[in-house]
Amino acid sequence: MTALGTGGTPCGCGCTGGGTSAPDLPTGPSPGSGPCGPGPCGGEELPANPFLALRVAFGMLLGEDDFRVLMGNPRGKLMLHNAWLHGPGVIWGLGVARDGDELAVLPGLAVDGLGRELSLDARWCLSLTQWARDWAEQHPADPPAEPAARPAEPAAHPTAGPADRPGARPADRPAAHPAVGEEPCPPCRRTAEAWIVAEFASCPDRPVPALADPCDVTRRHDDFSRTVETAAVTVRSRPPEPWRPYHRVRVLLGLDEAGEGDAAGREALREAAEVARVPAHLRAPALLAAFRRLAAADATEQAPRCEEGDACPPRAPVTEEHAAVVLARLTVELTEYDGCVRVDDVRIDPSVRTAVLPTTTLQELACGLAPGLVGALPEADAGGPRLIRDSLAWSREHTVLTFDVTAPLAPGCAEPGGVEITSLSDTGRGWATDEVAGIGISADGRRVRVDLDQRPAYETVRIRIRGTGPTPLYGDAPRAPFAGPDGGPPGTLDEGHDAVVTVHLPRGTAPERTEE
């Protein structure tokens, strides 16, 4: 089997699936240029009709079009499934490496943006020296070029590869140096960047005898009976546009940023802020609810992309132009001198590729990350009474504070230390401790009355209702300490939580309190 890019294809049709053409152009055949062609409109590709099915009946005469419908229905459905629910990326293999003067792509499997499987069965190779020459011709240096020391002429350059081997073709040898007396071109160093991508290609194979109309002067007596689906490796100056759906969800999870005028992104930021305000033990269900709302909005706005007048493939998420799969980013440092191009350094970055993970792996990853995102599972709440925050009320010139709790309090649990009140001066006088004269509980145990000797000394008042310490408020049924504010973390039978509320009272001075 001949590797793609070296003069043959697995189907034996003679088309190259890749090559060493100019770096800004695909290094394989283009649609319609020969019997092999990448893309859904290449002429020899199998049909893809996901929503057109064959309905057969007894005695029906089936023709070529019927069989194309028969094979196009499941194939089209699989392509839609791959494209929308998995997305483009590498499944296995397709490693990119340098081997002397050659750039090699190893066998592997990927799925492109249109949901087609890209299978590379043999090693693909490209001459780096030839590619660098083509790139330099298409991107002439702007004068004056950056000077560089002219290298010594070795007997056999280590990176020359096939150019200096015996039997090398003339095209592989560097251009001759200037004659004696001619002014040599000043050498310069440049950096070339390109992207190695895999594209879909299909080739007809195995011709067999075929019936032909004797009156048709253009008739063919044989036709291809197979279509081989493969991959063409190309080198591009720009990568295909990445497909990043569900922008709101990505912003919610911190994967995308909300730009200027980005209404969808701002909506996701508001949802993220709401989730952050939820207590930690309730954050997971709040995040799930926000995720569902934003995912529903994103899915509603999703739509297939197609060029104007393009009827194939139907309902795909991207166009053919952006369907290729990125394998690596290629950065080549080269030196031009005396009409020659020398490859100095080659960097291959495969981290730019997208990997398609199996669902079983995703399940295990989700389980592995859950404790870090959600935290340890909380203990069951003991059912202690909690503060109803909206029930806080002042009366009698801010000398009486009342509030309600969610469960009855035990008789006799309201000791003076159960509620503490302090206040902070707005004029820099510091904190004052406001004496609590007494704490009373209503007959049903659900309302607490706090009497102060006088109104709080200063404007910013901090109220602390104790669920901890030696004398907290305590529930009657069940017998459990005060558990803090409503919606807060769970309390246990041994220890509850304090509830802290800060309010700002209007400035005023009670008759009993004097200020310097």
Q: Cα separation of 313 and 489, whole Å?
A: 53
Task: Write down the pLDDT at residue 9.
Answer: 39
Closest CA to 87 of 326, 440, 381, 261: 326
Task: Write down the pLDDT at residue 476.
Answer: 93
Distances (CA, A) of 129 to 8, 94, 133, 286, 442: 21, 22, 6, 57, 91
How much is the CA Rg of the chain, to the nearest whole Å? Answer: 38
CA atoms within 13 A on the CB side of 325: 36
Q: Are 236 and 197 in contact (CB under 8 A)?
A: yes
Task: Write down the pLDDT at residue 39.
Answer: 41
Task: Write down the pLDDT at residue 143.
Answer: 60
Q: Cα separation of 156 and 164, whole Å?
A: 6
Q: Cα separation of 328 and 27, whole Å?
A: 15
Task: Write down the pLDDT at residue 474.
Answer: 95
Task: Write down the pLDDT at residue 43.
Answer: 41
Q: Are 323 and 313 in contact (CB under 8 A)?
A: no
Residues of the chain with pLDDT under 70: 1-45, 143-186, 307-314, 369-379, 508-516
Within a 10 A sphere around the Cβ of 322, how many other Cβ atoms?
17
Interhelix angle 263-277/283-301, nearest 10 degrees = 170
Sheet bearing 447-452, strands edge to edge:
387-395, 400-405, 447-452, 436-441
Q: What pLDDT, in 10s, does the model give residues 225-261?
A: 888 999 999 999 999 988 999 999 999 999 999 988 9
Q: Cα separation of 219 and 226, whole Å?
A: 19
- 3-state helix, strand, coil split of the chain in percent (to 5) is 20, 25, 50
Q: Are 199 and 112 in contact (CB under 8 A)?
A: yes
> What structural domains and CATH numbers belong to the chain?
1-152+187-212+223-245+302-354 (no CATH), 247-301 (no CATH), 387-504 (2.60.40.1220)
84 Cβ neighbours under 8 A, 6+ residues apart: 115, 317
Question: Buried b vs exposed e over 433-469: b needs ≥16 C-beta within 10 Å?
Answer: ebebeebebeeebbbbebebebbbbbbebbbebbbee
